[in-house]
Amino acid sequence: MQASMTATAATLQRFCLAHDEACVVPAEALGNEGIAATVADWLLAARRLSEDQLRCLEAGHALYQQRCRDLHARAPRSWFPPRRTNLLIAAHTHGVAPYLEPFGGTSSLLYACDLDTHPEYVAALLLHMERLSLLRSVPATIGFNLSYWFDRTAGERQAFAAAARAARRPDAAAFAALADAFEWIDELLHDPLRAPAQQPAEPYLHIDGADLYVPKRLQPRLMALAEAADVAVRAAVQAHAATPARSPVPSAPTRAPGAALDELCDWLRQSRAHVVIHGPHGGTLWSPEHDDPIRVQRVLAEAGDAAVASIHADLVIVDARSRQFLSCVAEPDALPAHCAVLETGGGAYLDAARRAVVYELQQPAFDAQTGTAPPYHRLLLGARVMHEWGHLAHAAKLLHVPEARRAEYRAARAELGERFARVLNDAPDGVANAIRTELADIEPRSAEQPAALARKTLARIGDYLANMMAARLIPGEEMQAYVRTNVRHHLDEQLGIVSELARYAYEVHYLALAGLPRSYFYETSRFPDYFIATGIVAQDDVERLFDAAGRVLACYAIDEQRLRVPPLH
């Protein structure tokens, strides 16, 4: 690999405290002994959490880890192994959408007030969010997790129930309803956690996937619990939507209504902002060729000042990252007007023909006309914009394998294919047939399979190269946000063993671009539990496969004569 960029303490601190009304406890700081002292000190010094809240979080996280690990060991069909996640902790219960995942697939949301309750409550919340990340349904999550309570003592249940009834989180009613269900939960059965001693005397409903058996007479209660949870979450979502947006800009003296829109339009006009703005129905409201923001003014005339200020902050980021990239290109007019891998949508995307990024007022996670950006959105936006420009740089051959390294590249690529083929050949009998079927779909000729496996691993090389370039240009905290979103498990995507391994073999190399160790992947992805502990692959073989992919990636470089980027630190 190229010389890796280490995440400095200052970068990580800026990342953890990047939002005024939320903070992040990074996954790697959540250890078996509690929160890393350095990160804990940052959170305390910035008054994001109190000492008591930190201790409650640490104790709750330890309970989650211990109990989830035990449940998975005893009932692997219906329980998952624990993992570490990046915890977003919102300072207030308003202003942050319930169950927001700032870094998709590797993060969970807690409210600071959750940490004023009890470790039992925090442990149950963490368990709930992990199941929810797999099922995407709150009622189903509540039902699937009922077997968690079988082994809880009366004192543990009482501590949870008291906390649930006093909690102030937006969906607190869902967990209060769960506490009320303790009176009948013990009448449920589970295979194997609570198997009947003899043939049941009454009919039971089997919940597939949860391995839970519910007596017919209790089914109405289970349905009522699921409905109560659903109602609580819908009420929380509706309350969030109805809450007036708060300005992302620090409070200033009272201004006349519409001042934020005037400031936005003045900025567009004076800076000739390098961005294309699309309205809610797709029409262009502004582009770098415009000199009059009248269309922006008309569309946002009814928007509140907080929403407009949030849009303005977004646009400043898009404009800055675009100008930054273009200023580094020796011949910007020579950039291609088409790039096959670029896609439209997603809130921000690159229009290669116009050499500008399109910003959509209808964002994937929120409507920018009515709400403000969620925590950490803007860090991800900056990284996404530079990533899109990176794809164009690759298409322009500004990111390539230099001629002097071509022979090394060919050898490394051949080694990658052979290494991958050996890993698959050593797979146990239980998965061998599935692997053979998948390999036949990829390349039916066995002699050509190593080359096909290398191609599959490197099929999205453009994503890695775009990130390689972005890491040289964007602030470190933006790269932190991007990597934590894009290095994650793919267990729920039904990719197949070969395809999943191929994805991990190159995505794991994003970590070095953000100064994160490879252990971060193992601790947040459940890869060791589902691939290594099951014997599908051996730890040493995985490391060799990842290293082989890394040697191919290391052959790529930025053409620094045509793309002038800051030097590596």
Q: What pLDDT score does 364 carry? A: 87
> 558 in helix, strand or coil?
strand
3-state SS class at 87: strand
The SS3 assignment for 516 reads coil
Nearest to 61 by CA among 71, 53, 51: 53
pLDDT category, 92, cuts 50, 70, 90? very high
* Phi (first) and psi of residue 413, to 5 degrees: -70, -40
Phi, psi of 205 (to 5 degrees): -95, 130
Q: How confident is the model at residue 494 (pLDDT cuts 50, 70, 90)?
A: confident
Mean pLDDT in residue range 58-77: 97
pLDDT above 90 as % of the chain: 85
Judge whether residue 491 has pLDDT over 60. yes
- Domain boundaries, given as residue ranges, for the chain: 17-242, 259-395, 401-558
Q: What confidence score (pLDDT) does residue 94 get? A: 86
Nearest CA among 315, 325, 322, 326 for reference residue 378? 315
Residue with tokens 């289970």: 222
Structure token digits, residue 480:
């932190």
CA dist 403 and 129 (Å) reads 49
Average confidence (pLDDT) over 54-81: 97
Residue 547 — pLDDT band, cuts 50, 70, 90?
very high
pLDDT digits (tens, 9 = 90+) for 392-425: 999 999 999 999 999 999 999 999 999 999 999 9
Is the pLDDT at 5 greater than 50, yes or no? Answer: no
Task: Please tell me the predicted confidence (pLDDT) of residue 197.
Answer: 72
For helices 406-425 and 497-507, give the axis angle rounded to 10 degrees: 140
Residue range 118-176, pLDDT digits in tens: 999 999 999 999 999 999 999 999 999 999 999 999 999 999 999 999 999 999 999 99
**Token pair belonging to 295:** 């269309």
Q: Which of 102, 20, 98, 110 has the alpha carbon at shortest distance from 61?
A: 110
| Least confident window among 33-47, 97-111, 242-256, 421-435 | 242-256
Cβ 160 vs Cβ 121: under 8 Å: yes
Q: What is the pLDDT of residues 256-310, one digit of tens each?
A: 778 999 999 999 999 999 999 999 888 999 999 998 999 999 999 999 999 999 9
- pTM assigned to the model: 0.93
What pLDDT, in 10s, does the model give residues 503-533?
999 999 999 999 999 999 999 999 999 999 9
pLDDT digits (tens, 9 = 90+) for 317-365: 999 999 999 999 999 999 999 998 999 888 999 999 999 999 999 988 8
In angstroms, the CA 110 to CA 87 distance is 7
pLDDT at 249 over 70: no
* DSSP sequence for 245-300: P--SSPP-S---TTHHHHHHHHHHHHHT-S-EEE-TTS-EEE-TT----HHHHHHT
Provide the pLDDT for residue 243.
73
Helix or strand (DSSP H, E) at 544: helix 539-553
Q: When comparing pLDDT for 61 and 568, which is higher?
A: 61
Position 493 scores a pLDDT of 83
Mean per-residue pLDDT, 534-556: 97
Q: How confident is the model at residue 242 (pLDDT cuts 50, 70, 90)?
A: confident
DSSP-assigned beta bridge partners for residue 557: 400
- The pLDDT assigned to 244 comes to 65
Q: What share of the chain is helix, strand, coil (3-state, %, to 5)?
A: 55, 10, 35
Three-class SS of 166-220: HCCCCCHHHHHHHHHCHHHHCCCEECCCECCCCCCCCCEEEECCCCEEEEHHHHH
The pLDDT, as a whole number, for residue 252 is 47
Q: Tell me, what's the pLDDT at 3?
A: 35
Hey, CA dihedral for 2, 474, 321, 460, is it positive or negative? positive
Q: Which residue do the tokens 């991990």 mark?
A: 504
Q: What is the largest CA-CA distance in the chain?
A: 80
- Residue range 34-47, pLDDT digits in tens: 999 999 999 999 99
What mean pLDDT comes out for the span 90-106? 91
- Quote the tokens at residue 311: 């849009």
| 562 has a pLDDT exceeding 60 | yes
pLDDT for residue 323:
98
